[in-house]
Amino acid sequence: MQPAVLKDKKRPRLTAEARRAQIVEAAAALAVEHRHLPVPLAALSASLGVSKALVYARFPTQFDLFNAVLARAFAQLAEAGLDEASRRPGIEAAARDCALIYFDHVVARGPLIHIVLRDRYMAGRVDVANRAFRDRIVLRLAREARRALSLTPRDVIAAANMLMAIPEELGRLAFAGDMSPASARALCGQLVASGVRAFEPASGG
């Protein structure tokens, strides 16, 4: 009986696309952990077990990297039905369903989108495609709010900021384990719906 031949078990070489996705995933996790940008490149490369040079080869700057992180997050929201939700008939249903989709994303991924969009590091650096996705959803809801609720442009901005904070904050609580996801989700839907109703014009007596 001949001895078994031992084969060299090397880790399979990742494709460029797979390596890029791996870096984006690790960068997203570090951004949520550190709560600010840019992330420490040494920590990013160490978490992947690769050199800084390899990270730079895929993403020459962290602006490139976090636009890729944002694009992936927006793609996940689109896959979850955000576009369709923003087209729901009736501003209350549209706002509630969009808020719940975003809430679910924050629970699963942390406040990643908020961190990338609000950090000063990315000011003026969000690319055209990412801005287009964000603006398409926001402007669609804003137009419907103006039409259905007879709001001024200033009131639309105030309403949008108030309503967007609801899934963001409740999602953070559920992500951190400070509130059960089911309870936070139910409250999110209720608060967004009641928030929209609060902006409805008063009926004449």
Dump pLDDT digits (tens) for 117-139: 999 999 999 999 999 999 999 99
Phi, psi of 14 (to 5 degrees): -75, 145
Domains of the chain by residue range: 70-198
Going by C-alpha positions, the residue among 43, 188, 171, 64 that lies closest to residue 109 is: 171
Entry pTM: 0.90
At 160 the pLDDT is 87
Dump pLDDT digits (tens) for 165-190: 999 999 999 999 999 999 999 999 99
The average confidence (pLDDT) of the chain is: 92
Respond yes or no on whether the N-terminal peptide bond of residue 12 is cis (omega within 30° of 0).
Answer: no
User: pLDDT above 90 covers what percent of the chain?
Assistant: 82
What whole-number distance in Å separates Cα of residue 50 and Cα of residue 160? 42
CB 112 within 8 A of CB 172: no
Dump pLDDT digits (tens) for 83-121: 999 999 999 999 999 999 999 999 999 999 999 999 999
pLDDT at 66 > cutoff 80: yes
At 1 the pLDDT is 47
